[in-house]
Structure 1
Amino acid sequence: MILRSALLYAALLLGANIAHADMADIAALRDGDMKKLMFHEAAKPAGTANFETPEGEVHTLEDYRGKVVLLNFWATWCAPCREEMPYLDALQAEFGGDDFEVVPVATGRNRVAGVKKFFGEVGVENLPILLDPKQALAREMGVMAMPVTVLLDREGNEIARLMGDAHWASDSAKAIVSALIADGGGS
């Protein structure tokens, strides 16, 4: 098992196409902080509640259908979020596009000015400001503390969850994201 995982991890780092890897192979890529990422035995429906931009543009997770999504619930007052957000920004910079998106949703009372200040202080340049002021999406998805990160497949289903902060720009996180993109997002 260890040799198989090492070979898959090496293949991902070298850019090999593993279009038919299964979730067990992808889960085997977890190392360091990524060991907290728990893959579900079966995909679960994600929330349907609205969240919005500072300009009031309404979004749902359905807007991201067709992409692998890393949905992050966070808040400006959350110290671990301050550590984690630059890693999420780096992951978006490297992988963001037609196949993958980091969706950071500021949950609860997070004033737009505070979010902008937070992003400026930690150096976020590649992530949008998205708000869930009444915690509707967070409640629907069972988020009890922050940060919580949820991976969604291309069909918008939850396939994994990580509670707490993590180094999302680590080699392990990048290998997992690469594998999910290559695999079609676990669909």
Structure 2
Amino acid sequence: MSQKQIDRRTLLLGAATLTAGGFLCNSAQAEDVAKLQTLKAGKPRLSPVDLQLSGPDGNIGSLTAQRGKPFLLHVWATWCGPCKRELPQLDAFYAKLQSPAIIPVAVDSGAPEKVDAFLKKAGLSHLPAWTIDKHKFKEWLGTPQFAIPVTFLIDAKGLVRATSEGGIDWAAPDAMAQYQAILASAGN
């Protein structure tokens, strides 16, 4: 067998392996969508959330301002494939809320204006374009690595009561009831 034939076989085998891996990865991601009810309140963990948010036009927000009421902190990124698939459902769900207790924030996605342009281009008109500093987020988490999308259930004292890594099924028929129940469970 010549070196050329071996190289060609190696190349074809490698391409087939990558293709199969891609299909498996995509199917695993589709199954990783969780229901909101996975965010049942448990014992508080992590220090109280005290992160600063940046918005378009220099707007600054703080998660400390949310104290006194439970909320969901949903962290995503403009470059994240699973996030891009989930955001249309979240946008539609967010639009149904009269006073949203969901704070979606982009991490490691550039300036708020870039995130705002991304949302507009994707036709996501209901989600705010908040961003969060990746390094401060990692510092708060206490770990250099984290998965996105990730949703945290934050109680009225600012403590994390539950975490759901991966996408959430915001379009589930019972999503609104789940949302109301998990917020009530963390109401303190």
Normalising by structure 2, report the TM-score: 0.68
Post-superposition offset of 1:148: 0.8
The CA deviation at 1:40 is 5.0
Q: 1:164 to 1:184 in 2, by over 3 A?
A: closer
Aligned to 1:102: 102
CA contact (8 A) 1:107 1:135 kept: no
- Aligned match of 2:128: 128
The structure whose residues are more often helix, as a share, is 2
* Structure 1 match to 2:83: 81
The answer to whether structure 1 residue 92 and structure 2 residue 94 are counterparts is: yes
The 2-side partners of 1:67 and 1:89 are apart by: 22
**Contact 1:73 1:106 (8 Å CA) reproduced:** yes
Match of 1:159 in 2: 161
Q: Distance in 2 between matches of 1:134 and 1:121?
A: 23
Q: Which secondary structure does the structure 2 equivalent of 1:43 belong to? A: coil
Amino acid in structure 2 at the alignment position of 1:33: A
Q: How does 1:36-185 map to 2 (within 5 A)?
A: 37-44=38-45, 45-97=47-99, 100-141=100-141, 142=143, 144-181=146-183, 183=184, 185=186
- What is the alpha-carbon distance in structure 1 between the residues aligned to residue 135 and residue 151 of structure 2? 15
Number of equivalenced pairs: 153
For residues 53-87 of structure 1, give each alpha carbon's deviation from its aligned partner in whole angstroms, at most 9, with x where no partner exists: 12233322111223331211111100111111122
CA contact (8 A) 1:92 1:127 kept: yes
Counterparts of 1:157 and 1:81, CA distance in 2: 24
Larger of the two Rg values belongs to structure: 2
Shift of 1:108: 1.6
Cα offset, 1:138, TM superposition: 4.4
Query: In 1, Cα distance between the equivalents of 2:69 and 2:98?
Result: 10
Which residue identity is paired with 1:136? K
CA displacement, residues 34-69 of structure 1 (integer Å, 9 cap, x when unaligned): 178353531234421322112233322111223331
Greater percentage in strand: 1
Q: Is contact 1:107–1:138 with CA below 8 Å preserved after alignment?
A: no
Identity %: 29
Question: Are residues 37 and 112 of structure 1, via their aligned partners in 2, closer, same or farther at CA, if it must alter by over 3 Å?
Answer: same
Point out where structure 1 has 5 or more consecutive residues left out of the alignment. Answer: 1-31
- Measure, in 2, the Cα distance between the counterparts of 1:33 and 1:58: 31
Indicate the RMSD between aligned Cα atoms, in angstroms.
2.6
Q: 1:185 to 1:38 in 2, by over 3 A?
A: closer
Once residues 68 and 41 of structure 1 are traced to their aligned partners in structure 2, the CA distance between those partners, rounded to angstroms, is: 13
After superposition, the Cα gap between the structure-2 partners of 1:106 and 1:173, relative to the gap in structure 1 and judged at 3 Å, is same
Supply the AA of the counterpart residue of 2:42. Answer: E
